[in-house]
């Protein structure tokens, strides 16, 4: 190899900094673009307001009103 080819292949400090900064910027942009779907939309509702979107729960839960259940059982037994 001649001296000119060696000089072209050498990387100076500013060139390395440019390449690293471009890599980091691209990494941040790609990470942000891919993570958009992981953040749910915030829906702010007031009491009595009708929601225009479906809201999906990440899990199921059940609430049993024991007092109302007992009252209904007593009504059914009295029939």
CA distance 25 to 8: 26
6 pLDDT band, cuts 50/70/90, is low
Secondary structure letter of residue 38 according to DSSP: G
Number of domains, the chain:
1
The CA-based angle 55-58-62, given to 5 degrees, is 90
Task: Collapse the DSSP code of 22 into the 3-class scheme (helix H, G, I; strand E, B; otherwise coil) and give the result.
Answer: helix
Q: What is the pLDDT of residues 12-57, one digit of tens each?
A: 778 889 999 999 999 999 999 888 877 777 888 899 999 888 888 7
| Domain interval for residue 45 | 3-78
């Amino acid at each position: 190899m001649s001296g000119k080819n060696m000089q072209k292949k050498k990387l100076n400090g500013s060139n390395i900094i440019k390449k690293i900064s471009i890599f980091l910027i691209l990494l941040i942009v790609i990470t942000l673009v891919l993570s958009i779907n992981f953040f749910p939309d915030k829906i702010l509702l007031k009491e009595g307001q009708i929601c225009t979107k479906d809201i999906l729960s990440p899990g199921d839960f059940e609430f049993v009103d024991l007092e109302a259940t007992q009252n209904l059982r007593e009504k059914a037994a009295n029939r």
